[in-house]
Structure 1
């Protein structure tokens, strides 16, 4: 029996040090089944590194928002069908990026920042509520 315990301990040691997850041994009057518990990790190392890289990219890009200070229809394409802004276009602080029109009155919308137009959130001619983000600008 002592010899059998030494053998069992050796088998356990070998499985613990190997990549085997289970072993089954059967002899005349002896059965042995050993199974290592599965180690569950939330993410693989590659996924963690990818998430960290994405977080760095997001942290680097500082997005600023141009917000409607009035209610009305937002226009960034003029009457001659010329866009005042497009995604990817660089704008300067104070540059007109569109206007909001309500009951015949036009209120110019000017950029408060230097940067590149990243996204236009309100379609040309769509209603813009007070406080609604119209345009996103990044560096």
Structure 2
């Protein structure tokens, strides 16, 4: 089955498209080859990257109440035209109380931890694109599991 959409209609449809909710992108995450995560005293964990050398690092002081950036570095890889990045953040373990505040974004996701302690954070970065005839394609770019020690 093929899609016969006139060029003008296709162009207009592409201008009016909306990003998919995180629920769809979360289901698209796949397990990738294991790679070592650079060592930083504030966290330890594992990274899987479809982009050679791709990594995520924390920038800023890791203290309760202070925002910290999770920076995705894909070593020059650029998203193709028409595609966008989808970030999912899950806390698999955290101290009692509310989960940290998260403002997902690419190339930086900002997290604010409300209390000191050890947190386990799963960060998923996917490339999302949509064909002209429907359907969605999700390409996992990077996922990292971090153990973050938050100071008071």
**TM-score, structure 2 normalization:** 0.21
Say which structure, 1 or 2, has more relative contact order (CA 8 Å, 6+ apart).
2
Larger radius of gyration: 1
**Greater share of helix:** 1
**Greater share of strand:** 2
